[in-house]
Structure formats: structure tokens, C-alpha cells
Amino acid sequence: MLHHFAPLNEFPLDAVNFIAMDRELKTFRSVAIFLSLILGAHLAALAQTQPTLLTAVDHRKTTSLDGAWHTIVDPYATGLYDFHQHLRDDGYFQNAKRESGDSPLEYDFAKSPTLKVPGDWNTQRDALFLYEGTVWYQKDFSYSKAAGNRLFLHVGAANYRSYVWVNGRPGCQHEGGFTPFDCEITDQITNGANFAVIAVDSTRLANGIPTLQTDWWNYGGLTRDVSLVEVPAQFIDDYTLQLKRGTKDQIDGWVHMEGATPGTSVSAEIPELRLSEKATVDADGRAFFHLHAPALQLWSPEHPKLYRVKLLSGKDTLEDEIGFRTVEVHGNEIWLNGSPIFLRGISVHAEAPIRTGRAYTDQDAQTLLGWVRELGANFVRLAHYPHDERMARLADKMGLLVWSEVPVYWAVQFEDPEVLAKAKQQLREMIRRDRNKASILLWSVANETPLTPARTQFLSTLVTTAREEDPSRLITAALLVRTEGMQKIVDDPLGASLDVIGVNEYIGWYEHKPEDADKTEWQIKFDKPLIVSEFGGDTKAGLHGTASQRWTEEYQASLYRHQLGMLNRIPSLRGLSPWILMDFRSPRRPLPGIQDFFNRKGLISESGKRKQAFYILQKAYQQQSVGKAHGEHP
């Protein structure tokens, strides 16, 4: 559907896979030095930057750069390349104000139209609705940094690749459209007037995560908050504090200090519990904590208790709100705080209700999760990529359990080690941002990936990475199911590596009739908890007919009735997250008058109209008539 342009950095930098994302890329620095010789200082320096990921930026004092940014739409990457496709040293990142020398100045940010940040560009300007390519963003700001402090430009998310300069000097590059990154700009900032330039390129890449095909709109731009974060020379960049598995009063964890010498003291306090402990950082910059908390109230959907946790070291302090609970798998049960739980869920895309486009506001999160709550759910699958941090924060407060996933979606290039590095990077960025949220129950490494040995190897590696990053969570993936006649067979070899098996099935929509669910038998090879992570069918809100007429509300309602009956016959079923809460934009759904480029499997239309199936699922959840058979201890 969309235009295809050369990615901004089409040529040699591509080979570096910049982002500096993967700390495993040992050759990175030498490649960057090589680039600096051949490409000129500005871009090579970009490649050398290793973005630090600051945790809980939403709980730090920051200077927002949200608002209007001047923008230049640059389909041919003219801002970076000359007419022979050579890198320009006078690119748009210079934000030049007047001509120098003999050549004309052919751009002017100050006179260029603005776009709102955060926000996708597609829904802000009609001409950009179908645009995939590069847009340059520029913003003037004044700043004054205290001497000795470090400064980061934090981007909540930018889809898909970003290139950052401050005052014409390189900051960093990042690949991945749904995770945050931090460009250190300590050396670029001046006291007084400054400007930032960020080129965002939304071109889909065959070797990207995700790849060329997705069933969601490729919204481009600075889609989440942008801010400046000033920290002391030694600062807390990461930490984790969790209830130790199998206990109800032991909090274990660590705080990582950037720039700190071994022996630096760190303290962790939970004032409400009168807990305060000190520890010193080791050679890796980590200080370990073991807090005994006998009076701890556990976090649960019924009682989403959060504690204010204060971390202090030297001049840096950071406060978070953390809930403590344990999650475990016992046989084919999922245990929360030592008791089995059934996950009454729904899948959600990061599509903004009512106004459409990418979701990014508090109101978006409140509307979406408010509907989840209205449905009677205790669980939400945030598909198919990490959502705005607001979603997990609100889920923490509301007591909703969360499945969070990376966009290893459909047929990514599993044979390519660079693609694996990209997937690992996004997985780590997602986990690092959200591992202190009590709501997060499951990390998912993939959705509906084709069965090949290369893919299973690739995904098993991701499972290992997820466990290394967060040993306390359960790991899952949404798998495809094999069909033999009326049998559904779950025997994907990846299942052996997962804690919880997720499966997607579309009986009654892409195959068979809704009532065929009644005759379907399930054969599941694994004695592990099973979540049916998707089922559903498209319906245009307000379109009525008989239960056998596709696209009508009656058809979807019937599909849900038959599905719920079938699911109740699966003994190891421990949850479901039907597809999907709200209709969402998709380039794969052109049917005029019905889809109009929306996937219509929502229980609610994009303008907020509940469809009949919403009430069918709501009743099943409120009466707990689905999953009831499986010994949930309320």
C-alpha cells in the first residue's frame, strides 16, 4: 500500500545495526571507528553511542520536549544524502539558518509546518496518512545544566528508526518502534539556547522486528513522550525489587549505579513498612538487597497494593511505586501469591480510542483499561509490541495482570543473527522498562511464527534472554495450532521451552463455522498452563442479520458463544485473551463499507460502540462461567 523509500541510512551504517543496542556486539567499537574514518565524524559518532536505558523516567524530574516540533517530510532522505547518494556534511541536522558559501539553502525548519509530539504523523496530516519514510523533527529549547551532571534525551518510542542530533552534533541512533531510548547529550548541550533534530524513518524492513507484514498500521513518528533527564555523575539507571518466589515477606533485588566506583553506598527504603537498608555497589555497579518485610500486603487483582519505594545514592534519588506478589507455575496451573488463578482477559492494540492513531495519553490508557475492567476481566494481553509505559502503570493501579510482548510477529528473518540481535535488544528494553511493575505476569517472545528449526532456535534463545533479564516472570509465546479434521493439536516444539503455552485459533472465522467449535477436540502435548491468546471474527458495529451472516454482530456473538463452550472443555485452560477489545487500523483490511482499513474483530468499535459479543464475554467473565471448572481459589 505504501511508498517505499531508501531508509535514511541505507548504506554502510546499516551493517552496524547501530543502536549499540546489544551489549554483546563486541566488534561494535572497532566497526564504529572504521566508520568514523570513512563517513565523517557526525554519523560515525552517532553509531558509537551506547544508549543508557534509564528506568522509571516517568518518576524522575524531567524537562518535557513534548509539543509542536517543526517537521520536514523527506521521502528521498535528501537531508542526509547529496544527489550522488553521498553523505552530506551539511545535512538538515545542522538546522542552518542562512546560506554559507555558494550553494543555496533549500530547507528551513523555522518556516516548516509543525507536528505534535507525541503523536503519529499519519493521523495528524492527511498527506501523511499513507506515508512510510523519513520525517525530520526540529525543536528549539533553552536549558541550563548544573556543572558535573549528565544529560539524556529520552524518547519514549519512535517508529521505526531514529537519528538524534543536538545543536548539530550527533547524539545516537535507535532501531525499534516501541521501546524507549536515551541519548546522552551531556557534551552537546550548552547553557541557554539549544536545538534538537530527530530524523524518524518508518520504512518497513525485511530484516526488521517486526518485518514487512503486520496486521496493524505502521504509524510513524515520535509516538511517545520526549524529555530531557538530568542526573548526577553517579546515578541509578536500573533496579529490580521483587518478592522472592515461594515467600510472602522476602523482597530481593538490586540497584545498578552508572558511573559509580565499587563500594559506593546505596539505600533502599519502603517508608510505609519502616524498611530501610544500605548496600554497596560491586565491580559491576550493582548493590544487592534482601529486605525482610513481615507486614507486607501482597499485590493482587482484588487488592492492588503499591508501596512507595525510595532509592538513594549520593546525589541521586528515585522513587517508584511497586507492588509485591509472586507468580509461579505448578503443573498446569498458574499461581499468584500461592493460589491458582484463571486469567479472564482480552487482547488490546495500542490504538487510540475515538480519535484513532497511536495511543499515548493517560486518557487513552484509562479508556482502554476502563473497558477491560467493564468487561469483568482480570487480565490483558498488550499485543503485539510493548505499549506505552502508562498502560502497565495503570494496570498496576487497577489490579490487571498483563501479558507484554515483543513484535517478533509472523515471518521475521529467523536465520539472520542481526535480526536476532534486534529482537533481543527490544526484549531487553521492554523488560528493563517494566520489570518492576507488579501487573506484568507474562513476557511473550513471539506471535504466530512459522514452524522451522531456525525459528525454534531463535525463539528459544529469546526465552533464555528473557529468563536472564527477569527470572521472576513467566515466559510465553502465541503459537499456531495444527489442525487435523476436527482436531486441534498443540505440539509446537517451542512449547518445551515455555512456562505457559499461548495459542491462537480462528475456528468460525478463518476456518469452519462457529458451531464447529462444539465438535472440536483438543490434543495438547504439554502438561503446562494453556492460554488461548486469540480467537474472534470481524463484525461491523451496528450491522445486523442472522447468526450465519458474516460481518454481523449476531455472527460474532454466536462465534463467542460456541468458543466459550469449547474452551471450557480444555482441562489445562488457564486463561483467554480473545481478539480483540477495540477495532484497529490495518492496511490488510480494505473491504469497503465494512472494514475500510480497520480490523473489525473488536468487541467495541473505534468510536466506542459496544457490539453484542462484548456482552456475551462480559457475562461469562462476571459469572465466571468460563474457566470455573479449573479450581481457581478466589
What residues line the site for ligand GCB (CB under 6 A)?
Answer: 215, 384, 447-448, 504, 534, 579, 599, 601
Closest CA to 172 of 50, 54, 81, 63: 50
CA–CA distance, 217 with 586 (Å, rounded to integer): 5
Tally Cβ neighbours within 10 Å of residue 568: 16
For residue 341, the Cα-to-chain-centroid distance in whole angstroms is: 25
In the complex with ligand GCB, the residue whose CB is nearer, 239 or 579, is 579
Give the DSSP letter of residue 623. Answer: T
Residue number with CB closer to ligand GCB (230 or 448): 448
Task: Give dist(CA 335, CA 293) in Å, integer.
Answer: 21
| Length reported for the chain | 634
Q: Which is nearer to ligand GCB, 16 or 352 (CB)?
A: 352
Cα 384 from Cα 357, distance rounded (Å): 15
Task: For the chain, count helices (H), then strands (E).
Answer: 9, 33
State which residue, 171 or 578, has the beta carbon closest to ligand GCB: 578
Q: How far is the CB of 419 from ligand GCB (least distance, A)?
A: 19
- Nearer to ligand GCB by Cβ, of 579 and 621: the residue is 579
Q: Helix 28-39 to helix 41-48 angle, to the nearest 10 degrees?
A: 170
Chain centre to alpha carbon of residue 175: 13
Q: How far is the CB of 370 from ligand GCB (least distance, A)?
A: 23
| Residue (291 or 580) nearer to ligand GCB, CB | 580
Q: In what order do the strands lie in the sheet with 482-484?
A: 482-484, 487-490, 521-524
Q: Min. distance of Cβ 507 from ligand GCB in angstroms?
A: 12
CB of 96 to ligand GCB, least distance (A): 44
Compute the least distance from the CB of residue 601 to ligand GCB, in Å. 5
| CB closer to ligand GCB out of 49 and 404 | 404
Question: Between 174 and 384, whose beta carbon lies closer to ligand GCB?
Answer: 384
Q: Which is nearer to ligand GCB, 87 or 212 (CB)?
A: 212
Least CB distance to ligand GCB at residue 209 (A): 15
Q: How far is the CB of 448 from ligand GCB (least distance, A)?
A: 5
Reduce the DSSP state of residue 263 to 3 states and report it: coil
Cβ atoms of 562 and 327 closer than 8 Å: no
Q: Is 139 helix (H, G, I), strand (E, B) or coil?
A: strand
Q: How far apart are CA 137 and CA 417, in angstroms?
A: 32
Best CA proximity match to 224, nearest among 282, 173, 162: 162
Query: Which H or E element spans position 182?
Result: strand 181-184
Whose Cβ is closer to ligand GCB: residue 119's or residue 210's? 210
- Cα separation, 293 vs 90, in Å, equals 59
**Residue 595 C-beta: closest distance to ligand GCB, Å:** 11
Q: How far apart are CA 382 and CA 394, in angstroms?
A: 13
CB of 533 to ligand GCB, least distance (A): 8
- Compute how many other C-beta atoms are within 10 angstroms of the C-beta atom of residue 469: 18
Cβ at position 348, least distance to ligand GCB in Å: 12
Residue 398's H or E segment, with its range, is: helix 389-398
Cell 560515525 found at: 44
Residue 504 CB, shortest distance to ligand GCB, in Å, is: 5
CB of 579 to ligand GCB, least distance (A): 5
Closest approach of Cβ 458 to ligand GCB, in Å? 18
The DSSP-derived string for 43-93 is HHHHHH------TTGGGS-EEE--EEEEEEE-TT-TTTB-TTSPBPTT-GG
Residue nearest to ligand GCB (CB): 215
Give the nearest distance from C-beta 54 to ligand GCB in angstroms: 31
Residue 145: φ, ψ to 5°: -100, 140
Identify residue 364 by its one-letter amino acid code: D
- Among residues 340, 347, 9, 362, the alpha carbon closest in space to that of 173 is found at 9
Three-state secondary structure readout of 57-71: HHHCCEEECCEEEEE
215 vs 333, beta carbon nearer ligand GCB: 215
Residue among 235 and 522 whose Cβ is closer to ligand GCB = 522
The single residue listed with the C-alpha cell 490487571 is: 400
Task: Calculate the dihedral angle through the C-alpha atoms of 227, 205, 120, 151, rounding to the nearest 10 degrees.
Answer: 10
- Asked if 196 and 165 count as a contact pair (C-beta separation under 8 A), the reply is yes
The closest alpha carbon to 414, from 448, 356, 457, 371, belongs to 457
* Closest to ligand GCB by CB, 18 or 509: 509
**Closest CB to ligand GCB among residues 160, 579:** 579
CB 122 within 8 A of CB 128: yes
Least separation in angstroms between residue 102's CB and ligand GCB is 53
Q: Which is nearer to ligand GCB, 384 or 611 (CB)?
A: 384
